[in-house]
Chains A and B, each alone.
Chain A
Amino acid sequence: MNAVRSLAAPFLPFSAAVLAAALLFALFLAAQGFPALEALELVVEGAYGSSFAWQNTLSRAAPLMLTALCVALPARAGLVIIGGEGALAVGALAAAVVPAACAGWPALPVHLLMAAAGFIAGGAWIALSAWLRHARGINETISSLLLAYIGIALFNFLVEGVLRDPASLNKPSTTPLAESFLIGAMPGMEVHWGLFWGVLICLVMGFVVRQTVFGFAVGVVGGNPRAAMMAGLPVGGLILAACFLGGGAAGLAGMLEVAAVHGSANAALLAGYGYAGILVSFAARHNPLGIIACAILVGGIGASGSLLQRRIDLPDAATLVLQGGLFVALLAFETLNRKGVRRV
C-alpha cells in the first residue's frame, strides 16, 4: 500500500493540475458563451483523436522535447533558465547559413554540420547566461529571458537583412534549402525525423543525468553548491556545461525546424516552442524521461488549436490560455508534494 502511494505520489500534483487547468479553461470559455464541454472534447480529439491528429501532435512534440531540455539540464545544476526561445532562434539561424556553402554535397555531412552549428550556437547562447551568473552574480532567469529577446531580434534582423532571399517577398526568409538537404518523414508515418532525435536525446540525457559521473556532479552542484565546493568540484565549469548542453538541445530544435519543417529560417519558426518547453520541463519535474510524455501532452494542446477554430470558432490563442492555465496550476499543485516545513 505504501509502495503504491509512493509510486503514485509524483503523479498526484500533475493529475490535479491537469484537472484544475481543464476546469479553469472550461470556466473561461463558458463565461464567454462558448460550449465548454465540447471544447474540452475537441482538445482531446484534436490532439489524439485520429492518426492525423497524432501526427500533428508528435510533430509539435519533437521540438518541445528539445527546448524542454534547455530548462531541465540547467535546472539539474540549480539554474532556472527560461530563454530557450533565444537559443532556438540563434540555433536556427546558424543552421540556416550552413547549406549555402555546401552546394552539391551529399545530405548527411550537411545535416551533421547544420546540427553542429545549431547546437553550438544555442549552447553558447545559454552558456552566456550561466557565465554571467557564475562570474558576475547576475540572475540567470532574467538574463536568459533578456538574451532570448536579443536572440529573436538578431534572428529577425538578419533574416530581413543580409540573409534575406530576394525571392521571398511577403515572408522574409533565408535562402531555401535544396530539396536534397531537407529532412524527411520517418518511414511509415508523416512525422519528420526530428521526433526520433528528440526522443533519442531525451533518453541519452536521462541516462547522462542518472548514470554518469558528470550527471551526478551536476546534481551535486544543483542540490547544494556549498557542498560541491567543499568536495572540490569545478562548480562554474559544471554549470556552464549543463547550460551548454541544454542550450544546444534548443539550438538543435531550431535546426530541425529549418531542415525538416520550414526549409529556411523565417519568422514562422519562432512559434513559442522555447517558452512552451518551460511548461514541459516543469511538468516533467526536469526529468528527461518524463519530458517525452509531457511534450506529447503539451504538443497535443497546441495541435488541437485548428480543430477548435474550425468547429466552434475559437481564436488560435485559446490553446495558449489552456497552456498558461496548466503551467500556473502545476506550480500551485507542486506544493502538494512538498512535505513538512520548508527549510531556510
Chain B
Amino acid sequence: MDPLTHSLTAADLQHRGAAVEAFRVTKRFGAFTALDAVSMKVEAGSFHCLLGENGAGKSTLVKCLVGYHPPEEGGFMVDGREHDIRSPRDAQRLRIGMVYQHFTLAPGMTVAENLLLARGDLPLRIDWRHEKAALAAFLDSTPFRLDLNALVADLAAGEKQKLEILKQLYLGQRLLILDEPTSVLTPGEADEVLGLLHGMTRDGRLTVLMISHKFREVSAYGDGVTILRRGKLAGSGRVGELSTAEMAEMMVGSSVAVSSGRRRCAADQTQAIGEIRLDVEGLHADNDRGTPSVRGLDLSVRAGEIVGVAGVAGNGQKELVEVLLGQRQASAGQVRVAGEDYQASRAQMRRHGVFSLPEEPLRNACVPAMSVAENMGLRDFDIAPYAGGWLSLGFLRRRALSRRAKALIEAFGVRPDDPATAIENLSGGNVQRAVLARELSGPVKLLVVANPVFGLDFAATEAIHRRLDQARNEGAAILLVSEDLDELLELSDRIVVMSEGVIAYEALAGQADVAAIGRYMAGHGH
C-alpha cells in the first residue's frame, strides 16, 4: 500500500513517535564550519527543545536531519538504526517532517485544499465527498480543531500554524520539527498550539523537536534540551534539572567572553565620558507589517562610550536602527542629537557628525550599480572639493571623487583597488571596508552601528573592531547593535538588552552578568 494513502486512516496515528539521535554531525559551508561535531539525543515521544542564539547552528542541524544539507561527517540514528538522510525524500520516508518559521500555505484556498495539496499525489479528478470524509476522520484523530471549509486567508496566525502542523501530521510524520513556531503567534495562541502538541507527545504518538529561544516555552513544555553555541554543543540535559540561568549561560556566553569584556573595561574605564550625544525618549516605531515593534524605548549614548544593544533578532533592534538612520518614520517619541530634535536630514548629519554602519551594507548603505568611488562619495559629493562651479547647480568633480577613493582604498585595504569597479562586484568584506572607509573618514561624533561583522572572516572582524575602538577613543559616541554577545562584551562600555521593543536590562560592561543578559534576551527577566 502507498505510504501516503496509508497515512490517512486514524488508526495509523497510533504508532509511536520516533527516537532520533544525531552523532557528531559536522557541516561546513566553504571555509565556515556551521556545525562542529554536534551530538543530540531525542527520546521517542518526548518534547525536545533546541536552544541557541542566531547563527548558533540550530537551523543547520535540523536541515541536516530533514535532508536539505547532508552533513559532511557524522550521521543520524532513527529508532536505534543508522540512516543515511541524503534528501528530503529520505526524511519523508522516515516520517520526519518540518514546520518552517514562515507559513507555506496557499492563502486563497481552503483548509481541506491545503491539506490535500500537501499530499502531492492527487488524482486527475478529486472525489471531494470521499476526501472530505477522510479529512474529517483524520481531524477527529488529532486534538486540533479547524474548519475544513475555511479559507486560509481568513485564518488567524495561530490557526495557520495549526494547519501547518496538521499538514505534517496528515503526512503521517512521527517526528515533527518546529522552527521557532511561536514567533508569529500571540502568547495565548502559542500556549494553545504547544499545549496540544505536548499532549500528543504525552500519548507517545509523536516526537517533537522545537527550535526556540524563549525560555518560558522551553520550561513549560520541554522534556529534554540541547543547547548550541557557535556551531558547537554547549550543553544538554533534562529541562527540570537545568535551571533557566544555566541554560542562559550555555546559550550566550563562555567565561572567556566575560573576561575579554572585563579586559577592555579595566584598561579604558578611567577615561572620562563626555556629554550626551544621542538621546532617545519614548520612541515608538512600527515594522513593515505595521505592527508596533519599538514600544516606548529610552536610550542615551554619551561622547566617548560604546553602548552595546543586545537582543534576540526581531525585538525591534532593526526598526530602532532604521529610525536612527532615517530609513523609517517613528510613530511617536523623540530622538535628539546633541540636544537638537533629529530628523536625519543631510544638514543635521553634517552638523552633528552622524555616521553609520548599517547591517547588510550593500542593501542599506550603498548604491549597488554605482562605482566604489561614487559610493565613497555618498556623504559629501555635494560639497567642496567634490562639487563646485558657477550657478547654484553644483557640478560634480568626478576626478576629485576618484582621487579620494583611491586614497581610502589604499588606507582601508579594499580589493580590487580600482575605484571605477561597481561596488556590487566586491565581496562582502570589501563592501563593508568601503563603507567603513566612507563613514569613518569624516569627523565622527555619533556612529550608529548594526551587526558590523556579520559574515566576515576573522581578520576583517578584528580590523573593524579596532576601528570602532579607535573612533570611541577619539571621542565618538557609538551605538552598537549586535546579535553577537561576545562582540558586545568585548567592545561596549555599557550594555543594554532590548526585548519586545524596550530596554529590559542595563549594565556597565564590567559588571554585566552574562546569565542575566541571556535571561533578559530570552524575554525571561526577574
A residues with CB within 8 A of B: 208, 211-217, 219-220, 223-224, 226-227, 229-234, 343
Contact = CB atoms under 8 A, between A and B. Distances in A.
A213 B394 contact: yes
A213 B363 CA distance: 22
Contact of A224 (B347, B367, B379, B395): B367
Given A226-B364, A227-B366, A343-B368, A213 B382 contact: yes
B31 interface: no
B344 A229 contact: yes
B432 to A, nearest CB: 14
B369 A214 contact: no
A211 B326 contact: no
A95 B345 CA distance: 38
A224 B368 contact: yes
A212 B395 CA distance: 4
Contact of A216 (B356, B365, B381): B381
B122 interface: no
B348 A232 contact: yes
**How many residues of B sit at the interface, in one of the four size bands?**
20 to 34
Contacts of A230: 325-327, 356, 358, 364-365
Contacts of B398: 211
A49 B191 CA distance: 80
Contacts of B366: 224, 227
Contact of B325 (A219, A229, A233): A229
A230 B325 CA distance: 5
Most buried by B among A226, A231, A343: A231
Contacts of A212: 393-396
A232 B344 contact: yes
Contacts of B344: 229, 232
A231 B346 contact: yes
Closest CB pairs A-B (n = 4):
A232-B346, A223-B367, A213-B394, A232-B349
B374 interface: yes
A234 B364 CA distance: 16
Contacts of B326: 229-230, 232
A343 B360 CA distance: 13
B151 interface: no
B358 A219 contact: no
A230 B396 CA distance: 20
Contacts of B358: 230
Interface string B362-401: 0111111110001000110110000100000111101000
A213 B383 CA distance: 9
Contacts of A229: 325-327, 344
Contacts of A213: 381-382, 387, 393-396
A231 B378 contact: yes
Nearest to A235: B326
A217 B377 CA distance: 11
Contacts of A234: 345-346
A2 B349 CA distance: 42
B240 to A, nearest CB: 44
A174 to B, nearest CB: 36
B370 A226 contact: no
A227 B424 CA distance: 14
30 contacts: A211-B396, A212-B393, A212-B396, A213-B381, A213-B394, A213-B396, A216-B381, A216-B396, A217-B381, A217-B382, A220-B367, A220-B370, A224-B363, A224-B367, A226-B364, A226-B365, A227-B365, A229-B325, A229-B326, A229-B327, A230-B327, A230-B356, A230-B365, A231-B378, A232-B326, A232-B345, A232-B349, A232-B350, A233-B346, A343-B424
A266 to B, nearest CB: 38
A226 B365 CA distance: 7
Contact of A214 (B325, B347, B378, B394): B394
Given A224-B368, A230-B364, A214 B393 contact: yes
Contacts of A232: 326, 344-350
Contact of A226 (B327, B369, B393, B396): B327
Interface string B325-363: 111000000000000000011111110000010100001
Nearest to B398: A211
B342 to A, nearest CB: 11
Contacts of A216: 374, 381-382, 396
A220 B325 CA distance: 16
A219 B350 CA distance: 21
A234 B345 CA distance: 7
A217 B369 CA distance: 14
B378 A220 contact: yes
A174 B367 CA distance: 48
Given A216-B381, A217-B382, A220-B370, A227 B364 contact: yes
A212 B397 CA distance: 9
B168 to A, nearest CB: 27
Contacts of B327: 226, 229-230
A247 to B, nearest CB: 20
Given A223-B367, A230-B327, A232-B347, 20 more contacts: A212-B393, A212-B396, A213-B395, A214-B393, A217-B382, A220-B370, A220-B378, A223-B370, A224-B367, A224-B368, A226-B363, A227-B378, A229-B326, A229-B327, A230-B325, A230-B365, A231-B378, A231-B379, A232-B344, A232-B350
A343 to B, nearest CB: 7
Contacts of A223: 367-370
Contacts of A233: 346
B93 to A, nearest CB: 32
Interface centre among A214, A226, A227, A234 (most CB of B within 10 A): A227
Contacts of B394: 212-214
A343 B327 CA distance: 21
Nearest to B424: A343
A212 to B, nearest CB: 5
A332 to B, nearest CB: 21
A233 B349 CA distance: 10
A230 B387 CA distance: 20
B451 to A, nearest CB: 15
A144 to B, nearest CB: 24
A233 B345 CA distance: 7
A300 to B, nearest CB: 31
A226 B344 CA distance: 13
A234 B394 CA distance: 16
Interface string B385-419: 00100000111101000000000000000000000
B370 A219 contact: yes
Contacts of A219: 367, 370
